[in-house]
A and B are shown apart, each in its own frame.
Chain A
Amino acid sequence: MNRLEKMAWGNIGGVILCVIITGPGIWWMVGNNTKGLVVLIPFLVSGLIGGLISYLKNMKRWAKFDEREQKIAAKARMLSGSVFTIFLWCATFTIFFIVGANNPVPAWLLPALFLSGIFLMVFVQSAVILAQFAKERFND
C-alpha cells in the first residue's frame, strides 16, 4: 500500500469517526427539537475534528507524493468536487419540494447538508484514489 492509498484510507476513517462522534448528538438534537446556538455544536465539533485535522495532515503529506500520485489525487479532487456540487444541488431542490416553498426549513438542515456534502466529497475522493490503484494492481 503506497502513501496515497494510506491517506485515502485515513480520510475514510476520519469521515467514519466524525459520523460516529457527532451522529448521536445530531440525532438527539433533532429528536428533542433543540433550538438556539446549541444546534451548531455537533456540526462545529464535526467540522473541527474532521476538517481541520484531516486538512493539516494531508497538507503535510502532500509534498511527499510524486508527480503521478499528485495527478491522481488532483483528478480525484476534481471528481469529488463535482459530486459535492451535484449533491448540494440535488439535496437543496429535493428539500425545497419536500418542505414546500412557504414552510420554514429547520436551521440544523443547512449545516447538516453542507457537512454531509463534505463527507461525501472526501469519501468519493478516497474511493477514486483506491479504485485507481486497485485497477493498476489488477492490470499488473
Chain B
Amino acid sequence: MTNGRLSNQIRRLRFEKGEMTQQQLADLVGVTRQTIIAMEQGKYAPSLPLAFRIARAFGVPLESVFQYESVSP
C-alpha cells in the first residue's frame, strides 16, 4: 500500500479570485475560517463533498484545487 500527500492551491486561488478572504470562502462552502486555515496549511484533508464545494466556489475543476501525490514507502 502506498502513502499519499494531499496538497492544495486554495491560497493561490483565493488571491486570483479578487483577493477573496478566508472568511468569505468559509461562508461560501459552509465551514469555519479555522477549517480553511487548516486546509491551506495542509493540516486538514477535506471530505470529498467539501472539496467539490471549494472547487465550485472557485469555478474550477477539483484537480485544479487539490493534488494527490503518491509516496512510496
Contacts and interface: CB of A to CB of B under 8 A. Distances in A.
Contact of B37 (A3, A67, A69, A140): A140
| Size category, B interface | 10 to 19
Interface residues of A, number: 9
B37 A66 contact: no
Contacts of B44: 68
Interface string A104-140: 0000000000000000000000000000010010001
A67 B34 contact: no
Interface of A: 2-3, 66-69, 133, 136, 140
A-side interface mostly: helix
B30 interface: yes
Contact of A133 (B31, B34, B46, B50): B34
Nearest to A71: B44
26 contacts: A2-B32, A2-B34, A3-B32, A66-B30, A66-B31, A66-B32, A66-B35, A67-B31, A67-B35, A67-B46, A67-B47, A67-B50, A68-B31, A68-B32, A68-B34, A68-B35, A68-B38, A68-B44, A68-B46, A69-B32, A69-B35, A133-B34, A136-B34, A136-B37, A136-B38, A140-B37
